[in-house]
Amino acid sequence: MASGRSNFAVMAVAVVMLSVFAVCRGDLEKGASYVFGDSLVDSGNNNYLQTLSKADTRPNGIDFKASGGAPTGRFTNGRTIADISGELLGQISYAPPFLAPNTSGSVLLNGVNYASGGGGILNGTGRLFVNRLGLDIQVDYFNQTRKQMDDLLGKAKAKQFLTKKSIFSITIGSNDFLNNYLLPVVSTGTRVAESPDNFIKDLIANLKIQLTRLYTLDARKFVVANVGPIGCIPYQKTINKVAENECVSLPNQLAKQYNGQLRELLAELNDNLPGAKFCLANVYDLVYELINNYEHYGFKTASHACCGNGGRYAGLIPCGPRTSMCEDRSNHVFWDPYHPSEAANLLLAKYIVDGDTKYVSPINLRKLLTL
Ligand SMILES: *[C@@H]1O[C@H](CO)[C@@H](O)[C@H](O)[C@H]1NC(C)=O
Ligand SMILES: *[C@@H]1O[C@H](CO)[C@@H](O)[C@H](O)[C@H]1NC(C)=O
Ligand SMILES: *[C@@H]1O[C@H](CO)[C@@H](O)[C@H](O)[C@H]1NC(C)=O
């Protein structure tokens, strides 16, 4: 009798263990995103920092269904490009912020977001916000996650999961121009004096170091976004007082120059890092296309911020409880003076996940994941 009961107990334990294993394996099969970058993809890290760069007040997040419209720290009205891309790829959850206390244990296997509003490729970028996570620190934090993944899965399985099932997305660089190089105040004097050529060389050199560090930590499937047409954001259009159908040329020129060198860097890394695939997400051309043909994509304006205040394009004061908000958020390309709306993010993510080589090359994210 006693032995019958213990056999039953052993069986029950075995069944429970099998089902835990199955759940775990099911999750792992769906893959995960490890997200690095700035406010374009921050899913809430800055909520945990003493910083002036925050999106933790209404009406930010008003269309984010999972929070019931409460702010999450995302700098948009709904989901970011990273959230939507993960969803389109069938991942089980949006990558949670690394700094959230409950982003721990097996949650790490569903992806992690290290991105931070105000962050840049250079350590000094975003200093005016007091605090933010730059790219170097984001990679340091991934190194911590990496160790925990070994503990969770064992070394061999962790490596297999990272190299086969994990996508590493990097969306960074805008702040290096907007909140560093182009700043009128001489808070970063050495940068302002530097030539664009040298500044861009510094950006590419550090980006190469950080991408290579991720590679040494077993990242293989990369998608790196180029810098968008930052001369077309409502903030730049407002302070430079350009017409509705115009953009500010210097920021766009700098972005294009950087993007050319980024393309070369990714080609070089594809040649030199065995087993790695670096995809370029051509956010510049994508956003430019949305802005140029906004009516074709169902938008009413590509120059006015939906949420913000100041000047002709509501482009001076960031979105918050006291700023005005447009009536129909889905017909604005821009949510606030700096960031695209969820409606725009949805289009961008679709092209990056399933689009052709005009917007994502050499292959799109869906193909990258099946490699
Ligand atoms: C972590 O906590 C936040 C609330 O602070 C909650 O919204 C989120 O769902 C939690 N995440 C997990 C994986 O439990
Ligand atoms: C940036 O900061 C990190 C520490 O977080 C440091 O290791 C690195 O050397 C710094 N890079 C530069 C170029 O100063
Ligand atoms: C990760 O952290 C360990 C120390 O814990 C260090 O030896 C290693 O160089 C780090 N790797 C990277 C790529 O930074």
Per-residue pLDDT band for 194 (boundaries 50, 70, 90) equals confident
- What's the rounded Cα separation, in Å, for the pair 145 and 95? 13
pLDDT at 20: 46
Domain count, the chain: 2
pTM: 0.92
CB 62 within 8 A of CB 69: yes
Using alpha carbons, select from 58, 17, 110, 102 the residue that is nearest to residue 322: 58
Number of the ligand closest to the Cα of 109: 1
Q: Does the annotation count 332 as an active-site position?
A: no
Based on the domain organization, do 7 and 88 belong to the same domain?
Answer: no
**Beta bridge partners of residue 8, listed in sequence order:** none
Looking at residue 256, its amino acid is K
3-state secondary structure the chain: CHHHHHHHHHHHHHHHHHHHHHHHHHHHHHCEEEEEECCCCCCCHHHHCCCCCCCCCCCCCCCCHHHCCCCCCCCCCCCCHHHHHHHHCCCCCCCCECCCCCCCHHHHHHCEECCCCCCCCCCCCCHHHCCCCCHHHHHHHHHHHHHHHHHHHCHHHHHHHHHHHEEEEEECCHHHHHHHHCCCCHHHHHHHHCCHHHHHHHHHHHHHHHHHHHHHCCCCEEEEECCCCHHHCHHHHHHCCCCCCCCCHHHHHHHHHHHHHHHHHHHHHHHHCCCCEEEEECHHHHHHHHHHCCCCCCCCEEEEECEEECCCCCCCECCCCCCEECCCHHHEEECCCCCECHHHHHHHHHHHHHCCCCCEECCCHHHHHHC
Q: Is 39 a catalytic residue?
A: yes
Query: pLDDT tens for residues 150-177?
Result: 999 999 999 999 999 999 999 999 999 9
Judge if 36 and 12 occupy the same domain.
no
287 and 348 Cβ atoms separated by less than 8 Å: yes
Give pLDDT, residue 191: 52
Domain co-membership, 157 together with 188: yes
Nearest atom, ligand 3, residue 140 CA = 14
Ligand 3 near 249 CB (within 6 A) = no
Closest residue by Cα to residue 351 from 88, 48, 28, 149: 88
pLDDT of 206-234, one tens digit each?
Answer: 999 999 999 999 999 999 999 999 999 99
Which one is catalytic: 33, 39, 53, 166? 39
Q: Which residue has the higher pLDDT, 94 or 21?
A: 94
Q: By percentage, how much of the chain surpasses pLDDT 90?
A: 86
Q: What are 98-102's contacts with CB under 8 Å, separation 24+?
A: 98/45, 98/141, 98/145, 99/44, 99/45, 99/47, 99/48, 99/49, 100/44, 100/47, 100/48
- Taking only the tens place, the pLDDT of each residue in 288-314 is 999 999 999 999 999 999 999 999 999
Decide if pLDDT at 6 tops 80. no
Q: Which of 38, 63, 83, 336 is catalytic?
A: 336
**What is the mean pLDDT of the segment spanning 22-27?**
50
Specify whether 26 is located in the same domain as 101.
Answer: no
Mark whether 186 and 67 lie in a shared domain: yes
Hey, which of 121, 123, 143 would you mutate to test ligand 2's pocket, going by the most ligand atoms within 8 Å of its Cβ? Answer: 123
Report the residue among 34, 136, 143 best suited for mutation to probe ligand 3: largest number of ligand atoms under 8 A from its CB: 143
Q: Is 125 in the same domain as 263?
A: yes
Judgement on whether residues 281 and 308 belong to the same structural domain of the protein: yes
What's the mean per-residue pLDDT of the chain?
Answer: 92
pLDDT of residue 347: 98
What is the mean predicted confidence (pLDDT) over 347-354?
98
Q: Which residue has the higher pLDDT, 46 or 191?
A: 46
Q: What does the alpha-carbon distance between residue 49 and residue 324 come to, in Å, rounded to a whole number?
A: 26
101-130 confidence digits (pLDDT tens) = 999 999 999 999 999 999 999 999 998 888
| 118 and 164 both lie in a single domain | yes
Residues 16 and 123 in one domain: no
Pair (115, 24) in one structural domain = no
List all residues 6 or more positions away from 47 whose beta carbon is below 8 Å from its beta carbon.
54, 56, 73, 97, 99, 100
Residues 42 and 101 in one domain: yes
Specify whether 179 is located in the same domain as 36: yes
CA-CA distance, 48 to 141, in Å (whole number)?
14
Active site annotation includes 336 = yes
Q: What is the CATH number of the domain that holds 256?
A: 3.40.50.1110
Backbone angles phi, psi at 219, to 5 degrees: -70, 135
* 22: containing domain: 1-30
